Chains A and B, each alone.
Chain A
Amino acid sequence: MSAMLLNKEKWPDFVGKLTGKTLWAPQGEGEEMRFAPVAEGEAPALEYGNTRVPPKQAVFPQTETMFRFQLGDKEVEVPELKEEAVLLGVRPCDARSMAIVDHLFSWDEDDPYYFKRRELVTLVGLACSEPGLNCFCTSVGGGPGSTEGLDLLMTDLGEHYFLEAVTEKGEALLKEAGDLIEEAGDDQVKEKDQLIEETAGKIKRTVDHEGIPEGIPGLWEDKLWQSVSASCLGCGTCTFLCPTCHCFDIQDEVEGFDARRCRMWDSCMFSEYTLHTSGHNPRYTRRERTRNRINHKYSYFVDKFDVIACVGCGRCVNLCPVNIDIVEILKQVKEAL
């Protein structure tokens, strides 16, 4: 796959060439950046750590209409998904998370909504040069320059962006750019590799998950779950901001005779998540739910799909209101094993 260089001065022109598609890029101020549509004619300045809400919104929206119907009808109207989009500046961890979640949405049958959006969305990534305080992507199989899940990866080399295509879609983008870009030489490739290595070296937090996927179910009754979950509030912040979390709820909403069935994010940390209609709740307290969350990410998912469902983005650590730190929890798990 091609490796090209784009002079930063030509960045607005490059963005301008991406016509016919909606462009999304991180926008906002300070800590609270979000992926939002880019205004016509603007070129987003890609200077940010990472967005609060991960770009999984693009392929797995927080609220999605599955179909509409009129009460009393036998026909339903399915939304037509045809809007193509390009997400600029996705971090490698977030893109990798989509590759991980792909496994789940294709488990027995391919989820048509999710995969249609995956097809329509092109992910242009931006390699990291400054890891966040709580990033630990290198411990879980990722890295600041990982290309998994991306269509095109950009690395900031100072005056140029190093562009490497990863998929056909990425190649197509490079072709569209035409003569704005030039072939990258061996020197630049070396420079890029060095930059990525340096960034990886700056990552301070690590997680040693050797033996955890196999061993953690054995800790079912361990008292560490009580101490770890004692301060949990049962809010949904960690799950909603987690790029690999994918649980959803399906509800019907009716206004008069207009109705729609929609799918929205749900959180395993909510108390009514596993509430049965009988009133019984197998995960009645936060201890069970916290235990479930860690087990799911580091054991059950590995069991089914051979990959840890955590990309080390650090959002749950940064934003948990009571400082429940997954890195610390895993340390405790490792000790208990």
Chain B
Amino acid sequence: MSANYEPNIVAFLCNWCSYAGADLAGTSRAQHPSNVHVIRVMCSGRVNPLYVVNALQQGADGVLVSGCHPGDCHYMEGNYYARRRLGMLKDLLEFAGVDPRRFHMSWVSASEGHKWKEVVEKTVEDAREAGPFEGFKRQQIDW
């Protein structure tokens, strides 16, 4: 692993809680790593688990999905479905040999700017420890 490896993290944030929470972390000038590329979705329940697989295939070293706390979902139940599906995905990825440090899920509410900072630090640290994920990347083959 080269000394200047910076993990590439893709994060799916729900519009109402996590995205707002991340925004709050920004406006509060909380210092946190900038490796995370945010994709805003309306609800964590909208995240098709295949997005995670696709992100890893396209070169992400780590993926994060973050939503509202259980009971607080803007659409009532989206995060419950996400919890089930992404829990299953995490088990499957781990079984298939993808380092469990590469996929995380979190609950971050709109007022938890400090929690967002911690989640990002943990995700980036884990992906840094796990190293660059070359194995799954799409390849261009001859012959």
Chain A, 72-99, contact with B by CB distance < 8 Å: what is the 0/1 string?
0000000101010000000000000000
Contact of A68 among B58, B140, B143 (CB under 8 A): B140
When distances are taken between beta carbons in the complex, the residues of chain A under 8 Å from B138 are 253, 255
Residue A258 CB within 8 A of the other chain: yes
Nearest neighbor of B59 in chain A, beta-carbon distance: A255
Nearest neighbor of B138 in chain A, beta-carbon distance: A255
The answer on a CB contact under 8 Å between B58 and A79 is no
Main secondary structure on B side of the interface with A: loop
The answer on a CB contact under 8 Å between A63 and B140 is no
Residue A274 CB within 8 A of the other chain: no
When distances are taken between beta carbons in the complex, the residues of chain B under 8 Å from A68 are 140
Nearest neighbor of B57 in chain A, beta-carbon distance: A255
Nearest neighbor of A58 in chain B, beta-carbon distance: B143
The answer on a CB contact under 8 Å between B142 and A65 is yes
Residue B141 CB within 8 A of the other chain: yes
A265 to B140 Cα, complex, angstroms: 17
Main secondary structure on A side of the interface with B: strand
Nearest neighbor of A65 in chain B, beta-carbon distance: B142
Contact of A258 among B140, B141, B142, B143 (CB under 8 A): B140
When distances are taken between beta carbons in the complex, the residues of chain A under 8 Å from B143 are 61, 64, 81, 83
The answer on a CB contact under 8 Å between A255 and B58 is yes
Nearest neighbor of B143 in chain A, beta-carbon distance: A61
Residue A260 CB within 8 A of the other chain: yes
Nearest neighbor of A80 in chain B, beta-carbon distance: B142
When distances are taken between beta carbons in the complex, the residues of chain A under 8 Å from B58 are 255
When distances are taken between beta carbons in the complex, the residues of chain B under 8 Å from A61 are 143
CB distance from B51 to the nearest CB of A (A): 16
When distances are taken between beta carbons in the complex, the residues of chain A under 8 Å from B142 are 64-65, 79
When distances are taken between beta carbons in the complex, the residues of chain B under 8 Å from A65 are 140-142
When distances are taken between beta carbons in the complex, the residues of chain B under 8 Å from A81 are 143
When distances are taken between beta carbons in the complex, the residues of chain B under 8 Å from A83 are 143
A321 to B10 Cα, complex, angstroms: 41
CB distance from B54 to the nearest CB of A (A): 11
Chain A, 25-37, contact with B by CB distance < 8 Å: what is the 0/1 string?
0000000000000
Nearest neighbor of B140 in chain A, beta-carbon distance: A260
When distances are taken between beta carbons in the complex, the residues of chain B under 8 Å from A260 are 140
A221 to B122 Cα, complex, angstroms: 66
Chain B, 110-143, contact with A by CB distance < 8 Å: what is the 0/1 string?
0000000000000000000000000000101111
CB distance from B60 to the nearest CB of A (A): 13
A7 to B138 Cα, complex, angstroms: 47
A81 to B142 Cα, complex, angstroms: 9
Chain B, 58-82, contact with A by CB distance < 8 Å: what is the 0/1 string?
1000000000000000000000000
CB distance from B64 to the nearest CB of A (A): 21
The interface centre, meaning the residue of A79, A83, A255 with most chain B CB atoms within 10 A of its CB, is: A255
15 CB < 8 A contacts A-B: A61-B143, A63-B141, A64-B143, A65-B140, A65-B141, A65-B142, A68-B140, A79-B142, A81-B143, A253-B138, A253-B140, A255-B138, A255-B140, A258-B140, A260-B140
With A61-B143, A64-B143, A255-B58 already in contact, 15 other A-B pairs whose C-beta atoms are closer than 8 Å: A63-B141, A64-B142, A65-B140, A65-B141, A65-B142, A68-B140, A79-B142, A81-B143, A83-B143, A253-B138, A253-B140, A255-B138, A255-B140, A258-B140, A260-B140
Complex A-B, nearest 9 residue pairs according to Cβ-Cβ distance, in ascending order? A79-B142, A65-B142, A260-B140, A255-B138, A63-B141, A61-B143, A65-B141, A65-B140, A255-B58
